[in-house]
Structure 1
């Protein structure tokens, strides 16, 4: 057989590198590269999902407090642009001088005038809002750490 009439060129598995001895070399590559199943991107995605879930819960709690008939205050979602923090704050209903964010202590003083069941409901809502605000801070912190670990 002549040199030009070789049956097939050698395949990649037949290539021998002097560094590997007599066995074929295998490239140092991750076989699962770019599949989206790596550990690092999953951490970031999970953190983002958790933060988004808490934000949805905060929005829903805000909508719930706006549905109360004759309300004098409700929970408003407040977003801080500089930190990205989203948290619930009590706000006076209506317009005018009294409208705006008000501290819980000022609202709590008005509870003496509310029927017992409604007063208890507002107290439960307030505790839930505090818990969601705390969880949002923790989730954003975890998201930031996941992003820093996986640039």
Structure 2
């Protein structure tokens, strides 16, 4: 199984580029600011959240951006039979990637994690390998998102 670092450089995102897909590696999530927001009341004690809360929130936001990027990438595959969708759980706020069957009709909808490998097995070699790497990346991002939200929760609890 392939290991992924906490940040995915553009060169590694290129490895996720599907065969025959348009170049979307250069597209980045618009929610990530180019320059971090400055705290207007930084030294008065009345400013925004402490640094650890801001850093934890930034980590969660980065992971959410990476999830959106991966979802967008899977939608660009020509003749796709399925793609990743970003799903938000209302109760926890968790964002996670789930596979969906492309198209409409009785076969459209979410594909359970356990059944996804049967779908991969029917694909041609290079495309199957790409989907398997993408699937591992989705699982890793989902795991990191849970960890990052938990770290944010703890940082907020320490702050209050």
Same fold (TM over 0.5): yes
Note the C-alpha offset of 1:35: 7.6
Deviations 1:13-66 (A, max 9, x none): xxxxxxxxxxxxxxxxxxx433859xx710100000000000000000000000
Output the CA distance in 2 between the equivalents of 1:112 and 1:49: 37
Say what the alpha-carbon RMSD is for the aligned residues.
Answer: 1.6
Number of corresponding residues: 118
Larger RCO (CA under 8 A, 6+ residues apart): 2
Report the structure, 1 or 2, having the larger helix content.
Answer: 1
Runs of 5+ in structure 1 lacking a partner?
1-31
TM-score by length of 1: 0.73
TM-score by length of 2: 0.69
Output the CA distance in 1 between the equivalents of 2:102 and 2:118: 16
Note the C-alpha offset of 1:110: 2.5
Output the CA distance in 1 between the equivalents of 2:63 and 2:105: 31
| Structure 2 residue 95 is matched with structure 1 residue 86 | yes
Q: Counterparts of 1:26-105 in structure 2 under 5 Å?
A: 32-34=43-45, 41-105=50-114
Deviations 1:119-142 (A, max 9, x none): 000000000000000000000000
| Structure 2 residue 151 is matched with structure 1 residue 142 | yes
Note the C-alpha offset of 1:112: 2.9
Native 8 Å contact 2:120 2:132 kept in 1: no
Superposed structure 1 runs of 4+ greater than 2 Å apart: 32-37, 104-107, 110-113
- Which structure has the larger Rg? 1
